[in-house]
Amino acid sequence: MYGFSRFYKYPVPLLLLSLWLVAVFLLSDQPVHSQHAAISNKEKYQSTLLAKRIMPSTLTENVRKTVLENGLTILTKEVHTAPVVTVQVWYKVGSRNEEPGVNGIAHQLEHMMFKGTLNRPIQFGRLFSALGSDSNAFTSYDQTAYYGTVERNKLKALLMLEADRMQNSQIEPEHLASEKRVVISELQGYENSPEYRLNRAVMQAVFPNHAYGLPVGGTKADVEKFEVEQVQKYYRNFYSPDNAVLVIVGDFKTANTLEIVKEVFGKLPRRQGAGVISPSLNTQHSTLNTQHGLNAPLTALSTQHSTLSTPIILREPGAGRLLQVVYPLPNVNQPDVPALDVMDYILTEGRNSRLYQVLVESGLASELTASVTSLRESGWYEVLVTAGSKQDLKKIDSVLSSAIANLAEKGVTLEEVERAKTQLTADVILSNRDITSQGMQLGNDETTAGDYRYTDRYLAAVRLVKPTDIVAVINKYLTKGARKVGFFEPTQKRITEISDKPDSAQTTENFSPGAPVLPSEVAKYLPPVDLATDAIAQVLPQQFKFTNGLRLLLLPDHSTPTVTLSGYIQAGKEFDPDEKAGLAAFVADNLLNGTKSKDVLTIAKALAERGASLDFEAYREGVRIEGDSLALDLPIILEILADVVKNSTFPAKELELYRQQTLTDLQLELDEPSEVARRIFVQSIYPKKHPLHTFPTEESLQKIQRQDVIDFKAKHYRPDTTVLALVGDFDLDKVRSLIQNDFGNWEVSGQAPTLKYPTVPMPEKIVSVNPVLSGKAQAVTYMGYTAINRYDPRFHAALVLNQILGGDTLSSRLGAEVRDRQGLSYGIYSSFQAGKNTGTFLIEMQTSPEDSSKAIASTRQMLQQIHQQGVTPLEVETAKRTLISNYNVSLANPEELTHRILMNEVYGLDKVELHSFTDKIQQVTLTQVNQAARELLHPDQIVVVTAGPSMLAEKSIR
């Protein structure tokens, strides 16, 4: 993978671009200079209060920096909140260092670093999986990083593996050929996105003579030409201890660990010419990076930015109109960076932000995202706007420019600045709760800013930002002459050939999957490790049930001054009426838009002033509640949560705005192969009238009325179907009392609505569907059928089976064959999605269109092989060890811990399941796994949906 999302204002996944909701807030007419003179003392007081309130200590106070004789920089930070540790190796090289004609070679080398070494000629993903390490890697502009998080007794093993591939990686022609196909498949996935293609064109215009204007991942044309000697030379030049930073964070003793590091890494030699910076690239390559860079850059390239009098216009297949604006900025260590980040929050963060008010609230835009990227040699500010239905991009651009000009002319208020500073600082604290993120922060700061203490200095500077500083950086950097603008104008509708009754066809290809890598081979190359896992403290949440039926689970954790909230309400999409699909989401997404006592802006402001978050999202089997805050602000989160679930009013104006945004979102979703494949896959498995069959359509969204929303809320939002779980820095009795006060008067009436899920038979044969999306570069395939629910006695055996089959894209049977050996897919995974009422077995893969049929056939053959022959005892033991280790590591992350506590209660499991889960996995036998393989894998009764380019119509699964 490539790219790295900055910590301070994270994009909301899922895996995709976020939709930030906004409402009107009148712009101040008071000039900033007159405000500042009147309130300077108040400003000083508030900044001091902010510092005391959420920065009780620095993020790096117990970090130790050590440099070995061979130049390796080591950053260690002891965190003893859980028996886990993260090991990360950051190389000071990225796409910034590439030579002309080899754009993407850093990214290609990152992939090759998993192919094995002279000492361990085996896919490293299998070794990491056998250790139970949550491992991955990424390439960015200024660095390439490899990271793994494991139980503490695996620390030395991880260090040995990283040292081995720092010096001994083998880059062979056969491996390079297959991995080039994988990288090209990855790039084709990015090419599917209009945002990617637009950003590529704009960034090339912003940086015409520098590698920052080229895509981090590279281009297909360059990747196809890579030779073994080129990649080997790049490896020799840049992968050495004196060009690397080793970060270790977690439960270890520094002195002992440093001795191990010296033993393992100290013998590695410096390399002649390591870290030499290649000359700047020319501009012949054009591909953009959709990921935002790290918040840590170094020098300006202002002389390279030419002025374009007209916008770049892309007229290509797509679904929505897009506007991208990019302003060049200075490098990370330039003193204006903190003010620029505060400016960004004022402009775009939350419902009260300036650009959201004038663009989204007005209906001109359905979505707005923005970020400041700060790198070693330069930076940029980018704004991406998705136009509302039938809205003109030129008008949107004009309104955006006017809003920025108005802010520069009239200034910002002290209230806006302080709120932005609080949000920004709280985001840093909240994003550093788990040890992997803490390691990322250190590695990023050391490699990009040149100082692991950068974030501490940065936050100190943020606290000093004044309203006049915001005006100054806008006038300095956000000028019309400096910016580059891009328009994306879709030329046609994308989806064709989608049928309610998919064609059926039997595959005839016969690709031999080959012999799987024996687990004994993996064990042979695994570094020595004490396989006895550390005992996890058996701390269990306290359970409470109120008279109205509300269930509460509380687990105090004083390791950080934060609180994580996770909740569930039985009001999901399964209750959507067929003719009004989307109604459950209408309710969940509009709860925060106003109550009987507070309007939308009051609610948004109360959260923003504290840097807290509270979100609702409707899923099939419920509504998920997610929130986090600093510990002192928990009462505010609970008060708002109680108010909106009891007293939301759903203002008509906000509902209509949401409808228009949702209609635009629907158009965009139906332009994404993954979304199209998922929708048709589910509807091909579950028949009409089944609770899982219904998906929103333009017609169904238009039918939803305000009274429908009010009625659905009254019927389904009930305390007796609500569960709340909290983990964090709080007093148990005080929080219980708060929730009693806030939720105790939430009344319940009658019985909760229920649904009966009909039994769905397996498909009688292979069912294949090939929806065509013109202009796409990559195909996405979903394969599967109905499967077990959470209560099935085979559940734990199915988890072990799945880990062997496709639980990991590098170490599983499917990953080893389809991705690693044949190079047919960038990613391939399988899963048993076991819900309360039903379950689905699913395999997902991304491929080049010409490789789809072969990848599908190979996947089916692997299913057939395991179905008939079963798996081996060593595979079962390795899979069990991996699942147990990964589970223990996950409990060290407060968000994952809170969610597991919540869902155990939702599923009606005993609270001891939190810790007995690993025992149940350990007790799974080979016989049980092979029985599950015979009963749950059906390669000849499977639905296969492949969404992608039109050539699939000619090469469909026949």
pLDDT digits (tens, 9 = 90+) for 757-799: 999 999 999 999 999 998 899 999 999 999 999 999 999 999 9
Q: Residues of 518-534 as b/e, b for ≥16 C-beta within 10 angstroms?
A: ebeebeebbbebeeebe
Two structure tokens written together for 243: 């060009």
Hey, what amino acid is at 585?
A
pLDDT for 516: 52
Edge-to-edge, what's the strand order for the sheet holding 542-545?
542-545, 551-556, 722-728, 562-569, 622-630, 613-619
pLDDT of 279 higher than 90? no
Pairing of strands 73-78, 379-387: unpaired
Which segments of 441-549 are extended strands (E)?
A: 484-490, 495-496, 542-545
What local confidence, expressed as pLDDT, does residue 951 receive? Answer: 58
Residue 143 has pLDDT above 90, yes or no: yes
Res. 898 pLDDT band, cuts 50 70 90: very high
Among candidate residues 324, 344, 373, 321, the one with its CA nearest the CA of residue 216 = 373
Cβ(842)–Cβ(678) under 8 Å?
Answer: no
Place of tokens 């949440």: 541
Tokens of 923: 């007790």
Residue 209 phi, psi dihedral angles, 5° rounding: -125, 25
* Proportion of the chain in helix, strand, coil states, percent, rounded to 5: 45, 20, 35
Alpha helices in 21-148 (DSSP H): 32-54, 105-112, 124-131
| pLDDT at residue number 271 | 79
14, 30, 341 from 54: Cα distances, Å: 28, 30, 18
Euclidean distance between CA atoms 729 and 438, whole angstroms: 18
- Listed residue (120, 122, 113) closest to 816, CA to CA: 122
Task: Give the whole-angstrom CA distance, residue 232 versus residue 41.
Answer: 60
Neighbours of 167 (CB within 10 A): 18
Confidence bin at 87 (pLDDT 50/70/90): very high
Determine the pLDDT at residue 812.
93
Confidence of residue 28 (pLDDT cuts 50, 70, 90): very low
Give the separation between CA 530 and CA 550, rounded to whole angstroms. Answer: 44
What average pLDDT does this structure show over 478-502? 73
What is the Cα Rg of the chain in Å? Answer: 27
* Cβ neighbours, 10 Å, residue 333: 19
More confident call, 274 vs 740: 740
DSSP conformation letters of 333-380: TSTTHHHHHHHHHHHHSSTTSHHIIIIITTTSEEEEEEEEEE-SS-EE
Stretch 52-67: mean pLDDT, rounded? 74
Q: At what angle do helices 228-238 and 105-112 cross, to 10 degrees?
A: 90
| DSSP track, 5-55 | --SSSPPP-SSS---------PPP-S-HHHHHHHHHHHHHHHHHHHHHHH-
3-class SS at 930?
helix
**Amino acid found at 659:** R
φ/ψ (deg, to 5) at 351? -70, -25
Question: Phi/psi zone of residue 132: left (φ > 0), alpha (ψ -120 to 50 degrees), beta?
Answer: left
Q: Is 330 exposed, middle or buried (0-12, 13-18, 19+ CB in 10 A)?
A: buried
Tokens of 204: 């090339």
Banded model confidence at residue 537, pLDDT cuts 50, 70, 90: low
pLDDT digits (tens, 9 = 90+) for 426-460: 999 999 999 999 999 999 999 999 999 999 999 99
Could you tell me the pLDDT band of residue 843, with boundaries at 50, 70 and 90? very high
Q: What is the pLDDT of residue 59?
A: 83
CA-to-CA distance for 670 and 663, rounded, in angstroms?
Answer: 11
d(CA 216, CA 200): 10
Kindly state the DSSP code that residue 447 receives in the 8-state scheme: I
The predicted structure's pLDDT at residue 499: 40
Closest CA to 147 of 128, 130, 131: 128
- Residue pair 551/543 in contact (Cβ under 8 Å)? The answer is yes
* pLDDT value of residue 98: 85
- pTM of structure: 0.88
Strand order in the sheet with 365-374: 312-316, 484-490, 322-329, 379-387, 365-374
Residue 508 has pLDDT above 60, yes or no: no
- Looking at 805-950, which runs of residues are DSSP E strands? 825-834, 839-847, 943-947
Q: Residue 525: which of 284, 81, 170 has the closest Cα?
A: 170
Residue 494 CA from chain centroid, whole number: 26
> Per-residue confidence at 820, pLDDT binned at 50, 70, 90?
confident
**CB contact set of 556 (below 8 Å; sequence gap of 6+):** 727, 728, 729, 730, 731, 732
Q: Going along 654-778, which residue ranges are E strands?
A: 722-728, 767-769, 772-773
Whole-number mean pLDDT of the chain?
Answer: 87
Any bridge partners for residue 315, and if so which? 489
Distance CA 167, CA 146 (A): 14
In this predicted model, what pLDDT tens digit does every residue of 281-297 receive, in sequence order?
332 222 223 232 222 33
Pairing, β 551-556 against β 144-151: unpaired
Which residues fall within 8 angstroms of residue 827, CB to CB, at 6 or more apart?
809, 819, 844, 845, 846
DSSP for 801-814, please give it: HHHHHHSSTTTSHH
How do residues 192-235 score in pLDDT, each as one tens digit?
999 999 999 999 999 999 999 999 999 999 999 999 999 999 99
Distance CA 531, CA 534 (A): 9
Residue 344 above 50 pLDDT?
A: yes
pLDDT in tens, 552-604: 999 999 988 999 999 999 999 999 999 999 999 999 999 999 999 999 999 99
pLDDT band at 309 (very low <50, low <70, confident <90, very high): low
Torsion sign (Cα): 737, 742, 747, 748: negative
| Residue 535, pLDDT above cutoff 90 | no
pLDDT (tens digit, 9 = 90+) per residue, 358-393? Answer: 999 999 999 999 999 999 999 999 999 999 988 999
SS3 225: helix
